[in-house]
Amino acid sequence: GAGVSQSPSNKVTEKGKDVELRCDPISGHTALYWYRQSLGQGLEFLIYFQGNSAPDKSGLPSDRFSAERTGGSVSTLTIQRTQQEDSAVYLCASSFGQTNQPQHFGDGTRLSIL
């Protein structure tokens, strides 16, 4: 497709389970970003990829969170042993590069932890 694609669009899981969220960026975009959007917290930066490497992981909230990107394209965000405070919308964005290039966002994955 033409835009950033995220799957699943909604995910409900039990506390303690692991979840994997997927992001398929716009073709040709070398930079990929993950953000978390939750009530009262706004949009929080999680991690940034340039190609397959992640020069900035500063936003990952704990070691339960990890992300990878393969082939300079698809990225997965994994949350292990989910907690209720992980409930949020996880947004992925991509761009041609860093800093001054506009980021294009997917519609997000709404994660609910029971």
Partner 1 sequence: AQSVTQPDIHITVSEGASLELRCNYSYGATPYLFWYVQSPGQGLQLLLKYFSGDTLVQGIKGFEAEFKRSQSSFNLRKPSVHWSDAAEYFCAVGAHGGSQGNLIFGKGTKLSVKP
Task: Tell me whether residue 50 or residue 80 sits nearer to partner 1 (CB atom).
Answer: 50
Residue 109 half-sphere exposure, CB side, CA atoms within 13 Å?
A: 28
Strands 10-13 vs 109-113: parallel, antiparallel or unpaired: parallel
Among positions 13, 52, 59, 64, the unique one binding partner 1 when judged by CB under 8 A: 59
Tell whether residue 111 is a contact of partner 1 (CB under 8 A). no
Tell whether residue 22 is a contact of partner 1 (CB under 8 A). no
Give least dist CB 112 to partner 1, A: 14
Give least dist CB 53 to partner 1, A: 10
Task: Tell me whether residue 35 or residue 65 sits nearer to partner 1 (CB atom).
Answer: 35
Give least dist CB 51 to partner 1, A: 12
CA angle 27, 64, 6 (to 5 degrees): 25
Binding footprint of partner 1, residue count (CB under 8 A): 26
Tell whether residue 107 is a contact of partner 1 (CB under 8 A). yes
CA angle 37, 2, 102 (to 5 degrees): 55
Tell whether residue 31 is a contact of partner 1 (CB under 8 A). yes
Query: To 10 degrees, the CA torsion angle through 24, 47, 106, 52?
Result: -20
User: Which amino acid appears at position 17 of this protein?
Assistant: K
